[in-house]
Amino acid sequence: MIFTSTKNNKEAVGFRTAALNGLASNKGLYVPTFMPKLRTEILESGVFGPEEAAQVMQLFIGEDIPLKKLTEILDQTLAFDFPLVQIGADKYCLELFHGPTKAFKDVGARFMSRVLGYFKAQDSNKSHVLVATSGDTGAAVANGFLNIDGVEVHILFPKGKVSEYQERQMTTLGGNINAYEVEGTFDDCQSLVKQAFSDNGLKQKMSLSSANSINVARFLPQMLYYFIASNTLKNKNLNNITYSVPSGNFGNLTAGLYANALGLPVENFIASTNRNDTFINYLVSGTYEPKPSVLTYSNAMDVGAPSNFTRILDLFDNDWQAIKGKIDGIAVSDEKTLQIMDRIHAATGYIIDPHGAVGYLGLETYQKEGDTGVVLGTASPLKFSSVIQKVVPSFETPDAGSKTVFKTSIKNDYKSFLEVLLS
């Protein structure tokens, strides 16, 4: 498979180069030059494990990783459960938070860390992985890359805008994991990372890669959730699936669109966001206007300029009508989020995190009669105990523990980031 940049098609690279580079040289995102098609027997077998996952991923990876090694990597990547829990009439939550950091991003981070570890074993140069996070990405990347030989990780997170649980997951590992507390928003953190990738002087001193969903090695394995869920539902004789995806940087939703383009049947997608409604406004107007992010209870979605928007445009050939035909969108206030959390708990006893609650309202709004609705449960309620306690006062806050904290505070400017990076 050949990948090109969303900003032009002159740069053509294979999966290995795309994964190691993170961003294209012109700061565009890598996208495949064509969308392959999956063999129908994989969709009809009734089984979806590491072997089947490897066949899906090999469509994009090609010969850069042998199938046997790729299957081994995916066996380690998918080494936890992905239960579908019924939370309403024809509504299910696909719990993606049973990995080591209790968030869906464990899949992408575990896959990417092992892929880069495999590639770096063939290369003596240390790779410096840069990642901006609004909460869960940083924790998953930190855990996935801890003690991976040949890789140094640098995580940027916005000061005071992630939960205590999330921050502790990023800042108590040490070793090859470096955490930077930035005086700004997630979008500011993401901007600093992108500036680093466009700094030719820095790239002459360091081999840089990104672990955000802008990286194909982080983004593409997120397709696998949809295959796992669809296989489980098919075995329950449930079809016509609509997915509601809590969306921030839109990697998860875009991965679902890719899975659908490969041949996985999906009735519809719902982009469920909070007050950071840049994409929802695009669906209404056809005009994409990024804006500063605002802080909400569902902080992992506090993104005002979603990077993967360009991948969605590429997939649909910049056709606004086609995008609207496949994706519905909703923006949910904090007040509505709490109401949904309270209503689900009162009716079923199920505790859903604020991101899942946003997704649930998306299903209630757009799920068609006769469809099976699935909301992606992107993070454990444990990570948002202070919000959960607003509707379930008895919910316990996880013990903070007494681990040593490793973090560096920096100003929101590139010079400050560059100084700590080079030191």
Place of tokens 């680093």: 196
359 by Cβ neighbours in 10 Å (0-12 / 13-18 / 19+) ranks as buried
- How do strand 84-88 and strand 207-210 relate by DSSP bridges? unpaired
Question: Helix or strand or coil: residue 273?
Answer: strand
- How do strand 177-182 and strand 408-410 relate by DSSP bridges? parallel
Find the helix or strand (DSSP H, E) in which 252 lies.
helix 251-262
What is the spatial distance between Cα 29 and Cα 6, in angstroms, rounded to a whole number? 5
CA distances from 307 to 130, 247, 279, 341 (A): 15, 11, 11, 29
Strand order across the beta sheet in which 408-410 lies: 207-210, 127-132, 151-158, 177-182, 408-410
CA distances from 346 to 88, 178, 193, 349, 367 (A): 12, 42, 43, 6, 22
DSSP states of 199-221: -HHHHHH-EEEE-STTSHHHHGG
Instruction: Collect all residues with Cβ–Cβ distance below 8 Å to 309 and sequence separation of at least 6.
Output: 250, 278, 279, 282, 288
Annotation marks residue 105 as catalytic: yes
Active-site entry in 91, 102, 105, 383:
105
Q: What are phi and psi of 391, to 5 degrees?
A: -115, -25
DSSP states of 104-150: THHHHHHHHHHHHHHHHTT--SPEEEEEE-SSHHHHHHHHHHTT-TT
Cβ contact 82:95 at 8 Å: yes
Positions annotated as catalytic residues are 105
